Structures are given as C-alpha cells and as structure tokens.
Amino acid sequence: MPLVNLKPVLAEAKSKGYAVAAFNPLDYASMKAMVAAAEELNAPVIIQTSAKTINYYGHRALVEWMREIAADSPIPAVLHLDHGKDFDMIRKCIEMGWTSVMIDASDHPFEKNLELSRKVVDLATAANVGVEAEIGQILGVEDDMVVTEEESHLTDPNEAEKFCRELDLSAFAAAIGTAHGYYKGEPKVAFELIEEINRRTNTPMALHGGTGLSDEVIQRCIKLGCAKINISTNLKHVFIDSFVNYHREKPSDYEPLRVLGAQFQAMKDLFKSKIEQFGGANRAGDVLSKVA
C-alpha cells in the first residue's frame, strides 16, 4: 500500500497503549527487512532516514526504494525524516514523498524553535505529511552533531505545553534523560517528567535513544505515553557484525548474496524483536482503518 502519514499511526498507538518502532535504514536491504519484519508480525512500522543517509544516497533513490517496498506490502509504513535541521532538506522531503518529517530546532531558544517548527508544520500539513518537533536537547551523537552533558537539558514542561498547544504535531520529542548511542551506565530516565509532559501536551511522545534501554524502562515509557521509539545504534551494530561474523565463520565463501542473506536475516530478527517488545504486533488492521 502507499506510504502513510505518521499522524493517524501514532494517534492510534497512543490510544491503544503501544509504541511504533522507528528504524534508521542504511540501504535498500535494511528498508526491505524493516517492512518484511512488520509484515510477518502484521504491524505498522516507521522507516526514518537521517540527513546523513539522504546526503549519501540522495532523496530520489530513498523515496523510490521505499515507495516500491511499501507498495508491495499490505502493512502501513511511514517514511519519516529523522532530526531535520536544514529547511531546504525538509522541504525537499515533503515535496518528494516522505510522509512525515522531523524539524529539530531544539538548539535554538524557545521562540525561535517555535517559529521554525511552525513553518514546517504549515508546509507539511498542507501536503498531508506528519511532523515531529523537539524541545530540549537530547544527549549524545546524532549524525555528526554532538550534544554534551553540559549542553543537554531536560525539557521544561511549561514550554512543552505551550509548544504543543501552538503546533498540531504528530509526535513530540522531549529530552527526558535518554541519549543517542550506547549507554555507558544506567540512563537516568525522568519518568515523572514523561508523565507530566504527556498529561499536559496530550501529544504522542517520540522516545529517542531507544537502543540499550532495559525492557522495564521501555514498558514504563510506553505506559506513560511514548508512542514512537527510535532504534538506530542497535542496527548499526547488527548491520556490520552480521556481515563480519559470516565471513569469519565461512572464510572461503565468496558468494556475496549469501553474505547479504545472512545480514538481511539478522536485521529482520532485530526489527521483529523490537516491534514485538513495543507492542506493535497485530496492530496493522486497526491502523489501516484509521489511515484509510
């Protein structure tokens, strides 16, 4: 089926108390493995491209791959831009067929962030494209942007309420103590803050830095209103390790398609485990009735 807008997908997830898994693809095969995993579990899925990936392949290749993969599948899939910082890149995504974009102006002061985010919401909404926006800077490395401990700050719930009242968002990303990349110690997730932000914004929350959170933390976040969970670092490791391990185990096998097949299987297994963990299995039908 055609790619779907993020908004009804997350509204449905929030109302039913589960989260939709969002993965950052690295190539055509990883996109295909995301949709294959979702299809086997009859689940909705979000495929989110980083700016770095778009710069590498170009908008056209990514959107055409994704359109073809989605068209061959009965499950609802969203093509989303992760951490959009450049307005021209965001506009091009909207024009070329992404069904959701993230504007990340979180490094600007509140009023400027609101102004920049509003510009994207206006453009996207007119094109039936969903929008995720962020307040507070999430710790860690995303693409080549580094947010250090001193720079990162938790989202102010008063600002969150005002932001979400002014903007009709599909997803709201907040800094609530999680971080991009692998965690060095136990992350200090601010559960009370998640609860307060969700109560006051009533907007599906996007949880960034999902790799490495314990199942207990994940389940608590979902219960408190996180409806989109991002997994990127996990995939980077599986992508490379599965390839390297295959060759280590079978050093004389130079049939590339067998190596790629092993990598595909490993990626699909990761995606299936995350979709199931977040409660997305067997939700495709209900989502489809909302996006139709």
For residue 195, give both structure tokens. Answer: 């609860």
Closest CB to Zn ion among residues 47, 75: 47
What part of residues 109-138 is at the interface with Zn ion (CB under 5 A)?
Answer: none
> Which of 73, 181 has the CB closer to Zn ion?
181
Give CA separation, 20 vs 78, 89, 112, 254, in Å.
10, 25, 30, 37
* DSSP label of 17: T
**Interatomic CA distance for residues 137 and 149, integer angstroms:** 10
Query: Active site residue: 27, 72, 82, 286, which one?
Result: 82
86 is catalytic: no
Least distance to Zn ion from the beta carbon of 209, Å? 7
Counting Cα atoms < 13 Å in the Cβ hemisphere of 282 gives 0
| 274 lies in the site for Zn ion, by CB under 5 A | no
User: Does 92 interact with Zn ion (rule: CB under 5 A)?
Assistant: no
Amino acid letter, residue 228: K
To Zn ion, the closest distance from the beta carbon of 36 in angstroms equals 24
Nearer to Zn ion, 50 or 198 (CB): 50
Q: What is the distance between the alpha carbons of residues 203 and 170, in angstroms, rounded to a whole number?
A: 7
Select the span of 91-99, 156-164, 201-209, 255-263 touching Zn ion (CB under 5 A).
201-209
Cα separation, 89 vs 91, whole angstroms: 5
| Closer residue to Zn ion in complex, CB, 171/262 | 171
Q: Does 283 bind Zn ion (CB under 5 A)?
A: no
Q: How far is the CB of 228 from Zn ion (least distance, A)?
A: 11
Q: Which is nearer to Zn ion, 183 or 243 (CB)?
A: 183
Number of residues this chain uses to bind Zn ion (CB under 5 A): 1
Whether 240 contacts 269, CB under 8 Å: no
**Residue 228 sits in the site that holds Zn ion (CB under 5 A):** no
Phi, psi at 18, each rounded to 5°: -135, 175
Question: Interface with Zn ion includes 208 (CB under 5 A)?
Answer: yes
**What is the rounded distance in angstroms from the CA atom of residue 21 to the CA atom of residue 109?**
30
Residue facing Zn ion at closest CB distance: 208
Residue 71, phi then psi, degrees to nearest 5: -60, -30
- The one-letter amino acid code at 288 reads L
Cite the active site residues: 82
Interface residues with Zn ion (CB under 5 A)? 208
